[in-house]
């Protein structure tokens, strides 16, 4: 939609624009860009704002610029275009070239990807991933086109056949669920999940569930080690509700990936957080496994009070991907200060002599159990 405005109209619209955007967009910059023939300047500014903040969706969606009115003293004639609707959203899941996006308006849109974005990468399947913050252009009642992807703050990925596959983007927490009993606590497994959290710089939360089955004193020493390393440790019981309100407050408005061995109570905890949450995840996973993209298909499941739990079939009990023997030490907070002080620069702190890490264990600077977990990981990673 395009309509020429008189310069009087132009002034009025500019005043309206200034009032609406109050300092968020500098009109002088836009004017200069327009005068230089960049007719996308205004649209760009508004798009940026749509992606980063929650705009007023019920009013005019996009402000289009036109430099076609030479009578306008500022060289800038602006008109409002209500057809070109663009809104911010979150990618819930990706199926091939189709993405399911939850718009700021709460509507779920089936979206394709703008051609320009597709061409930005050689591997088209991973232009957009679950968890991405995007701007979409609404096409029909429940369809749209992804126009922009906001830079990611974090990514969980794996490499296969030399290609990086991003599994989910913008994850805030890795919730590592373990159980105090039935099955008994396996700290070495917690250490493996911690390694992944460190690798991808995602904040881990260690959650020891089924606390109703044991006396908390039993776990003081081991929890002390994690707490000293600066990890957040939560003691919960899905059965009695212990620790659940705290966990709920923590994951609210965040994006949380849940990991843990089978039977530790992940589903029970999710249900304690929000009734039917595990059921919803189960349904989504079942739908997924019927599709073609089973291995990497992640889903964001919205939480009633804000935020998402991420269901990533491959991650619930994930393996150590893409970590080399030489990287492990640097990814463990307690080993890290010592890894560069060994006699041999290629020391893997395993069988070598004059190893600063082993000395630190002997001197009590590194917890012996943590070092044992390290050795097991190294053994597993070695061919
Ligand atoms: N006593 C006790 N039992 C629990 C608790 N949480 C879960 N359970 C029980 O542990 C069993 C396994 O719980 P789930 O929630 O299915 O475990 P999960 O981690 O989701 O297991 P997978 O789906 O196999 O990965 C069930 O029988 C639950 O009732 C708890 O806090 N205390
Ligand atoms: Zn060493």
202 C-alpha to center of ligand 1: Å? 25
Closest ligand (CA of 267): 1
Model confidence at 315, pLDDT cuts 50, 70, 90, reads low
Kindly tell me if the per-residue pLDDT of 79 is higher than 50: no
Whether 63 contacts 46, CB under 8 Å? yes
- Give residue 23's pLDDT: 46
- Lowest-confidence segment of 216-220, 309-313, 373-377 by average pLDDT: 309-313
Q: How far apart are CA 33 and CA 271, in angstroms?
A: 53
- Is 207 assigned a ligand-binding role in the annotation? no
- Give residue 213's pLDDT: 96
Model confidence at 4, pLDDT cuts 50, 70, 90, reads very low
Q: How far apart are CA 155 and CA 132, in angstroms?
A: 10
Give the pLDDT confidence of 198-245 residue by residue, as tens digits: 999 999 999 999 999 999 888 888 899 999 999 999 999 999 999 999
Q: Which of 110, 167, 126 is nearest to 299 (CA)?
A: 167
Identify which has the larger pLDDT, 355 or 1. 355
343 C-alpha to center of ligand 1: Å? 47
Q: Which of 343, 355, 356, 348 is nearest to 374 (CA)?
A: 348
Kindly tell me if the per-residue pLDDT of 47 is higher than 90: no
Q: Which of 137, 87, 84 is nearest to 113 (CA)?
A: 137
- Is 342 assigned a ligand-binding role in the annotation? yes
Task: Tell me the mean pLDDT in the region 330-353.
Answer: 94
Model confidence at 118, pLDDT cuts 50, 70, 90, reads low
Write down the pTM of the prediction.
Answer: 0.74
| Dihedral (CA of 241, 242, 246, 247) sign | negative
Burial of 345 per CB tally in 10 Å (0-12, 13-18, 19+): exposed
Model confidence at 60, pLDDT cuts 50, 70, 90, reads very low
346 C-alpha to center of ligand 2: Å? 8
Kindly tell me if the per-residue pLDDT of 310 is higher than 60: yes
| Interface predicted TM-score (ipTM) | 0.98
Q: What is the mean pLDDT of the chain?
A: 78
- Is 60 assigned a ligand-binding role in the annotation? no
Any idea which residue has 């070695």 for tokens? Answer: 382
Question: Is domain 169-311 classified as CATH 3.30.1370.100?
Answer: no
* Strand stretches in the chain, DSSP E: 62-66, 77-81, 86-95, 98-103, 108-113, 133-140, 143-149, 155-160, 163-169, 173-179, 203-209, 232-235, 255-259, 299-302, 308-311
* Cα dihedral 349, 352, 353, 355 in deg (nearest 10): -20
Structural domain 86-151, CATH architecture? Beta Barrel (2.40)
Kindly tell me if the per-residue pLDDT of 371 is higher than 90: yes
Closest ligand (CA of 326): 2
Structural domain 325-381, CATH architecture? Orthogonal Bundle (1.10)
Tell me the domain boundaries of the chain: 7-81, 86-151, 169-311, 325-381
Could you give the percent of the chain with pLDDT greater than 90?
A: 48
- Give residue 174's pLDDT: 94
- Give residue 53's pLDDT: 38
- Give residue 367's pLDDT: 96
The encoded tokens of residue 243 equal: 């620790």
- Give residue 232's pLDDT: 96
Residue ranges lining ligand 1, Cβ < 6 Å: 209-210, 212-213, 237-239, 260, 262-268
């Amino acid at each position: 939609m395009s309509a020429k405005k008189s310069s009087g109209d132009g002034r009025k619209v500019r005043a309206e624009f200034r009032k609406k955007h109050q300092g968020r967009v500098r009109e002088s910059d836009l004017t200069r860009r327009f005068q230089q023939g960049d007719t996308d300047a205004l649209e760009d500014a508004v798009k940026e704002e749509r992606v980063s903040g929650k705009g007023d969706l019920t009013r005019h969606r996009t402000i289009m610029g036109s430099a076609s009115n030479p009578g306008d003293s500022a060289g800038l004639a602006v008109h409002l275009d209500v057809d070109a609707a663009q809104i911010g959203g979150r990618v819930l899941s990706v199926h091939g070239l189709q993405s399911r996006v939850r718009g700021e308006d709460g509507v779920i849109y089936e979206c394709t990807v703008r051609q320009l974005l597709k061409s930005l990468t050689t591997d088209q399947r991973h232009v957009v991933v679950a968890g991405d913050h995007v701007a979409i252009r609404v096409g029909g009642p429940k369809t749209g086109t992804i126009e922009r992807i906001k830079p990611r703050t974090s990514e969980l990925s794996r490499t296969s056949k030399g290609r990086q596959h991003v599994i989910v983007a913008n994850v805030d927490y890795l919730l590592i669920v373990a159980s105090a009993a039935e099955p008994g606590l396996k700290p070495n497994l917690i250490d493996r999940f911690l390694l992944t959290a460190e690798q991808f710089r995602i904040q881990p939360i260690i959650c020891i569930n089924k606390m109703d089955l044991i006396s908390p004193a039993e776990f003081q020493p081991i929890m002390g080690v994690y707490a000293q390393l600066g990890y957040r440790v939560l003691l919960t019981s899905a059965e009695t509700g212990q620790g659940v309100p705290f966990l709920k407050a923590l994951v609210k408005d965040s994006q949380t990936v849940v990991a843990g061995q089978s039977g530790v109570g992940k589903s029970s905890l999710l249900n304690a957080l929000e009734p039917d949450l595990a059921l919803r995840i189960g349904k989504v996973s079942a739908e997924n496994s019927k599709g073609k993209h089973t291995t990497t298909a992640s889903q964001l499941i919205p939480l009633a009070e804000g935020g998402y739990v991420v269901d990533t079939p491959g991650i619930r009990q994930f393996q150590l991907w893409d970590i080399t023997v030489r990287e492990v030490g640097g990814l463990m907070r307690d080993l890290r200060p010592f890894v560069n002080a060994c006699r041999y620069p290629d020391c893997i702190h395993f069988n070598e002599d004059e190893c600063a890490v082993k000395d630190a264990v002997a001197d009590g600077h590194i917890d012996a159990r943590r070092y044992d977990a390290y050795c097991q990981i190294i053994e597993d990673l070695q061919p």
